[in-house]
Structure 1
Amino acid sequence: MNQAPDAVAEHGHRRQQVLDGFAERCGTAAAGVWEAPGRVNLIGEHTDYNDGFVMPFALTRSAMVAAGHREDDRVVVTSMDLDETVEVALDDLVPFDAPGARPRVWADYLTGCLWALREAGHHVGGVNLVVASTVPIGAGLSSSAALECATIAAMVDLFGLEIDLIDRAHLARRAENAYVGAPTGLLDQAASTLCTSSHTLFMDCRTLETTQVPMDLAGVGLEILVLDTNTPHSHVDGEYAARRAACERAAGLLGVAALRDVTDLDEALATLGPDEELVRRTRHVVTENQRVLEAVELAREGRFAELGPLLDQSHTSMRDDFEITVPTVDLAVETAREHGALGARMTGGGFGGCIIALIPMGTGDQVGRAIAEAFAAAGYAAPEWFTAVPSAGARRIA
């Protein structure tokens, strides 16, 4: 799917801004600009760390990183959005849980990538990095993965490294897990690295096998609305980690390597019966995996309208069984359905962030305004929204 002319122009303007920002702040021209997108997960939430299935696609919203070599061993990172600069020596990069480690800051999503590369045995030297991003922070659209994957792509090219795409995603995840301290799965980084234009990415999170699934919604008169409820969330807090730990406990009690391996859900739930929390968490993961598999088949057959009920079921499961939605998210989903959405669900790790809605083409603003009115009536902050176009993963753009 080609971008509209105004979108192409805006993209070129953003790229030039980052190049100019690098020249102004670093006193020399950048070696290049690398871009990595945020992502929306069409379906498959909290299945990735359970060795399950996911189905994300990349957004046009992205992080751009201008990069260039330094002659010393310093990493100097500047955010054009925040107008802040962080400088650190390569040898001073330590993970979040190291003795004496300082509190994590935004720049750690970038510097952590250099730490992960060095830890894996790759040679990287001092660099200047200037970053700007249009991926909303804390919205569940993987703003951190976009920063990480753009940085990894830049380092691969700058230092002539030979790293497969899936291994780049692993390194970016390593930066987020071990360096920043956020216990995320691989979904975000894999989507930001591997996605291609006009497709969703079907990934088996155990085998890491991926398939590009065509996503021509426009051909059947549909589109995806992404609405940011402006309820910020954070993966670093205890809730995400608690869900992950519960899944691991359930798998252990069931004698399987991961909840993906549950083949008889009724039997599994009976085994877990005394622990209602583990029953609910397990039921979500097992049924969500099945929904992903069904969604892949529908998409392959071009039956996109039939995705709607699966989105609805996914949201209900996240709300009732995994308990990761919040009132703003639930209201947005309900209102979208009331105003013509074929299906809607929260997307992302939970506790705030974004919803997606499968809607008739051209009705995005109508649905978005209806949700904004419902939010105003409920006393919530105003949401923001856009329609999503499946886009390309991390790459060099200048």
Structure 2
Amino acid sequence: MTDTSSPAADQEQRARHTAARFREVYGTEPTGVWAAPGRVNLIGEHTDYNDGFVMPLALPHTTLAAAAPRTDGVLRVHSGDSGGDGQIAELRLDALRPASDGGWAGYPAGIAWALREAGLPVGGADLHYDSTVPVGAGLSSSAALEVVTALALDDLYGLGLTRQRLARLAQRAENAFVGVPCGIMDQTAAACCTEGHALFLDTRDLSQRQVPFDLAGEGLRLLVVDTRVKHELGDGAYAQRRAMCERGARALGVRALREVRYAHLPEALDRLAAQGDARGDGPGDTPGAGGPGVRAVVRHVVTENRRVEDVIARLDAGETRAIGPLLTAGHASLRDDFQVSCAELDLAVETACAAGALGARMTGGGFGGSAVVLAEEAGADTVAARVTEAFAAAGHTAPRIFPAVPSAGARRLV
């Protein structure tokens, strides 16, 4: 059955609890409590680092941070969640170095580093975190942690950052400090999404459009199926796909694959084939065993950008149900061309569609994580039950299934 509990409903209570835990951990009062959400991506996967189009929405699941400034150049971080070890991690700001293996604490440390590298007057701070964003589920728990830290430090030190710049600095922290070559989507979603909308983002010029997405008003529900299969984007597979995309762009003489128009895709694929890149095994390329070739990743990115545009057109026309087949087509592309799905994600999508869902796809970086399912409200519980039954029959861990309600982005609570 669907988990219908609302993490947003008890936000005020959580804020009070987070502040109280800060007092217990540090023995002083926090200056405030901030929140940043996880996200699901409705459509547009692995397009953000190709200067393409994405369409995420914020979840009601959030990471909260209670914080207070320090005057000694020390950053202290503590987590009340399973991702932390219960100990305070203490770091000197002037000693922060990229790629230092600081575990989960590397994310807030990376934010402080990125702000200081940008010449912003950031001093020390004490931070305590509490999160309801599932870790390893492809719902951007790392971006929520980064953005809430950046927002807290922005307020504590009066930096005056716009949400767009805050997102860019958070992305730099993850790229250059933590070492994960993510695009800009996750941090922008956490910083900029608004309640009741999906965010249409052009990752080249960072222009945004808030698209009304009132599923309940149309008798629909968007489900998240957390397969509970953990993924690790830093393990090389994500970086390998990105490198393949960059190789494809170079071979086609474009700055990024976003420039390859859908109408010209057959010609582009023929050009790659003529260059001997059909399997991506040219000089300097090291795809993993069974991994995709350059033509396949190019085909995915170009068709996925087109699917984002098609989803926008249908939503603008009031044809929300018509986006379902586009979601399913996106999953097939991620599974077959980009090769980032897994057995559990495929089972969730196939079972949901067979049970009457309008469409479904994996969301996030892949290799585990979550799927999104668009279903009629009247049939959503049945779809969720069938997916749970299918997982049990296959011997998989039971999935966690909950509604994705378009929610607010990062904000100060107290």
Matched, 1:139 2:155: no
Cross-structure match for 2:288: none
Q: Does 1:241 align with 2:239?
A: yes
Residue equivalent to 2:109:
111
CA distance in 2, matches of 1:362, 1:11: 28
- The 10-residue stretch of structure 1 (127-136 or 103-112) with the greater mean CA deviation from structure 2: 103-112
- Give CA deviations for 1:34-54 in whole Å, capped at 9, x if unaligned: 100000000000000000000
Return the match for 1:193 from 176, 191, 194: 191
**2:71 corresponding residue in structure 1:** 71
CA-based RMSD of the aligned residues comes to 1.3
Deviations along 1:75-114, whole A, 9 cap, x unmatched? 1100011323211111111100xxxx4x230011111100
The residue correspondences of 1:118-129 to structure 2 (distance < 5 A) are 118-129=116-127
- TM-score, scaled to structure 1: 0.96
Q: Unaligned stretches of 5+ in structure 2?
A: 279-292
Amino acid across the alignment from 1:15:
A
CA distance in 1, matches of 2:377, 2:12: 26
Structural mapping, 1:344-359, within 5 Å? 344-359=360-375
Higher mean C-alpha deviation, range 209-218 or range 269-278: 269-278
Match of 1:89 in 2: 92
| Pair 9,220 (structure 1): closer, same or farther in 2 beyond 3 Å | closer
Secondary structure of the residue that 2:339 maps to in structure 1?
Answer: coil
Are 1:167 and 2:136 matched, yes or no? Answer: no
The percentage of counterpart residues that share the same residue type is 52
Give the Cα separation in 2 of the matches to 1:135 and 1:222: 23
* Structure 1 Cα separation of the partners of residues 171 and 6 of structure 2: 33
Distance across 2 between alignment mates of 1:280 and 1:76: 45
1:15 matches 2:15: yes
**Counterpart position of 2:330:** 314
Deviation at 1:71, TM superposition (A): 3.0
Q: Alpha-carbon deviation of 1:6?
A: 6.7
Question: Paired residues, what number?
Answer: 390
Aligned to 1:31: 31
TM-score normalised by structure 2 residue count: 0.92
Q: CA 1:61–1:362 in structure 2 vs 1: closer, same or farther (change >3 Å)?
A: farther
Match 1:224 to one of 222, 225, 245: 222
1:33-52 alignment, distance < 5 Å:
33-52=33-52
Which residue type is aligned with residue 257 of structure 1? R
Taking the TM superposition and a 5 Å limit, the aligned residue runs for 1:285-364 are 285-364=301-380
1:177 equivalent in structure 2: 175
Inter-partner Cα distance in structure 2 for 1:372 and 1:199: 28
> 1:369 Cα deviation (Å)?
2.2
Cα deviation 1:287-320 (Å, max 9, x = unaligned): 0000001111111222110010100100000000
Letter in 1 for 2:383: V
Structure 1: unaligned runs, 5 residues or longer? none
Query: In the alignment, residue 193 of structure 1 is paired with which amino acid?
Result: A
Deviation (angstroms), 1:247: 0.4
Q: Is the partner of 1:140 in helix, strand or coil? A: coil
Q: Cα offset for 1:8?
A: 5.2
Match of 1:383 in 2: 399
Please identify runs of 4+ aligned residues in structure 1 that moved more than 4 A: 4-9
Give 1:365 deviation, angstroms.
3.3
Q: Is the 8 A contact 1:364 1:386 kept in 2?
A: no
- Counterpart CA distance in 2 for 1:363 and 1:92 is 55
Secondary structure of 1:179's aligned partner: helix
Deviation, 1:7, is 5.5
2:12/2:413 contact within 8 Å kept? no
- The one-letter code sitting in structure 1 at the alignment partner of 2:384 is G
Give the 3 Å change call, closer, same or farther, for CA 247–9 of structure 1 in structure 2: closer
